[in-house]
Amino acid sequence: MFTTLVASLLLGVTAPKVPANPKPEDAKAFVAQVNTDLKKLWTRSSTAEWIKSTYITDDTERNAASANEDVMEYLTAAIKESLKLKDVKVDADTGRALYLLKVSQALPAPGDAAKRSKLAELAAKLEGMYGKGKWCGKNDVPGKDEKEDKKHCRDLQQLSDVLTKGGKYEDQLEAWEGWHTISVDMKPLYEQLVELSNEGAKEIGYGNLSELWRAGYDMSPADFEKETDRLWTQVKPLYDDLHCYVRKQLSKKYGADKVSPTGPLPAHLLGNMWAQEWSNVYPLVEPFKGQPSLDVEAGLKKQKYDEKKLVKLGEAFFTSLGLDPLPATFWERSQFKKPQDRDVVCHASAWDVTFDNDLRIKMCIKIDEENFTTVHHELGHDYYFMNYYKLPVLFQAGANDGFHEAIGDAITRSITPGYLKNLGLIKEVPKDDKGLINVQMKEALDSIAFLPFGRMIDQWRWDVLSGKVKPADYNAHWWALRKKYQGIVPPGPRPANAFDPGAKYHIPANVPYMRYFLARILQYQFHRALCQAAGQKGPLHSCSIYGNKDAGAKLKAMLSMGASKPWADALEAITGQRQMDATAIIDYFAPLQAWLKKQNEGQTCGW
């Protein structure tokens, strides 16, 4: 016990002090020490988070909270010290590092030790509540006691399976409502998290946590919000066309009394717990029946893919571009399957636990098309880690957080029917316009359907964190934004105690979400640029960069920059452009949008 205590004390790290009247060399030395300290602290925290996520217990939650508290304490002190350097003329790298330090905390802690400890405890508790979430139904069977009823509890995967299958309206409603009960008890904890994190943000010079989050994009918070609106405006017409067509098909299936032909869509009927991606309703909305099968899941199962083989397939795409294979430790340390003996966070994620090429993914892989795509997405993160891990730790990040999410998704744009046929996962490549429209519909149900959801999540948090929305209105505002952006509504009145935002992982886990919206924009912009580098001719949707080393070299050049330069520099390195641009999406889906407009003639679109 004494040895453990001594070791714990030795791991304590104190932020360096900035001397009075600092000079440029003082700033440089400060940054160097912070990089050394943060690598040590972030490795401890990341290790504790990995253990907590793959083995959820009260002890692992407490351990992770303790490690995160140390990081919070250090960053709060280091950021406050760094403010003393604001008038010092520094070189570009030092200036970049100081900027990234200031915006590095998604959850800034107050300087007060008790409040900092409480914030770390709340963060760990909220994510643990999500990971352990189950719905046990109603004990309404005569003669069955509560203990017996708990044998029938269902977790997120099991409840999501009900929505995926798209069976009876009532079964989908029960599964949707069941999952949304798991977040009710999160609300008072989340209110405290908002209060304490806002206090922490104010102590480092921001009005609130919302302002800090929006400041991390090499522009002012106000300008960044305008930028997201500009990008959404570019793609909204395509989403509106898709929404109108899907609504017509859902109304046919379930009846106009359950799905209004002119109103918003009920949230539980789109094959996904959050109605964020709609690919599971593809069989219902398939434009042309009888075309060559696009059932990748059937191909995977026919070839007897298991979890590891599926990940190997994702790795093979990256190595075909000239990138290195994943390290041996990746295969030894990753979680590919859901363990049967303990609770884990199944939400897919990618890690470099030690910030030193200790690459891993954490998934509960199912052999289906969604997981096939998710594997490529997560490996995109790992290949980013692999290419920048030798940089100072403050530069070990995406050029902006949207870049990190976009890499793997840009690769999935090259998973064309031709590529799938070469793998033997589908039998035929669609050869006419009907086949093309089917392919694009399937992709749009994932990529385009997601865009408004990606845009609204952080709008909700910006409004909550800024104080614009009070706790009593958390749930109402959530649904107001979902209706405004997505044209989605809950399937019925929500209980007074509902906290539906908490039923989405990124809210209790405090993961900023704007990265996912930006990634859906950037992936097509990256794809267009990589196709140009590969010398691809013809429509953008037909391009696959698989096996092209020229495209791989361009990708690698951008990945290796990490966050060492402003994101516009990194964007220019891969695309030649300095502004994020959604026109590549419109180019890519031009055939589908023209077809949707014809199908929607005579319909009252919008909601």
pLDDT digits (tens, 9 = 90+) for 402-427: 999 899 999 999 988 889 998 999 88
CA distance 142 to 237: 53
C-alpha triplet 454, 456, 458: angle, nearest 5°: 85
Q: Does residue 140 surpass a pLDDT of 70?
A: no
349 three-state secondary structure: strand
Q: Does residue 462 surpass a pLDDT of 60?
A: yes
Which backbone phi and psi does 415 adopt, to 5 degrees? Answer: -85, 75
Instruction: Report which secondary-structure segment, H or E, holds 266.
Output: strand 265-266
Query: What pLDDT digit, counting tens, does each position of 239-282 carry?
Result: 999 999 999 999 999 999 999 999 999 999 999 999 999 999 99
Sign (positive or negative) of CA dihedral 300, 304, 307, 310: negative
CA distance 313 to 379: 11
Q: Does residue 432 surpass a pLDDT of 60?
A: yes
CA distance 265 to 262: 9
The mean pLDDT of the chain is 92
Q: Which pLDDT does position 7 carry in this prediction?
A: 36
Q: Does residue 4 surpass a pLDDT of 60?
A: no
Q: Which pLDDT does position 2 carry in this prediction?
A: 30
Average confidence (pLDDT) over 145-154: 64
In Å, what is the CA distance from 194 to each residue of 107, 298, 346, 511?
Answer: 9, 45, 25, 13
CA distance 407 to 430: 27
Higher pLDDT pick, 157 / 30: 30
Q: Which pLDDT does position 167 carry in this prediction?
A: 84
Band of pLDDT at residue 145, cut at 50, 70 and 90: low
Band of pLDDT at residue 8, cut at 50, 70 and 90: very low
Which residues carry out catalysis?
347-348, 377-378, 381, 405, 506, 516
Structure tokens at 101: 């330090």
Band of pLDDT at residue 5, cut at 50, 70 and 90: very low
Q: Which pLDDT does position 402 carry in this prediction?
A: 93
pTM of the model: 0.87
What's the Rg (C-alpha) of the chain?
24
Beta carbons of 567 and 395 less than 8 angstroms apart: no
Strand partners, 135: 154
Q: Which pLDDT does position 319 carry in this prediction?
A: 97
Q: Which pLDDT does position 11 carry in this prediction?
A: 54
Question: Measuring CA to CA, which residue among 408, 409, 407, 427 is closest to residue 417?
Answer: 427
Q: Which pLDDT does position 150 carry in this prediction?
A: 55
Q: Which pLDDT does position 418 carry in this prediction?
A: 87
Beta carbons of 319 and 556 less than 8 angstroms apart: no
Structure tokens at 572: 């220019």
508 three-state secondary structure: coil
Question: Measuring CA to CA, which residue among 265, 270, 295, 266 is closest to residue 284?
Answer: 270
Beta carbons of 588 and 541 less than 8 angstroms apart: yes
CA distance 543 to 532: 9
Query: What pLDDT digit, counting tens, does each position of 196-243 carry?
Result: 999 999 998 999 999 999 999 999 999 999 999 999 999 999 999 999
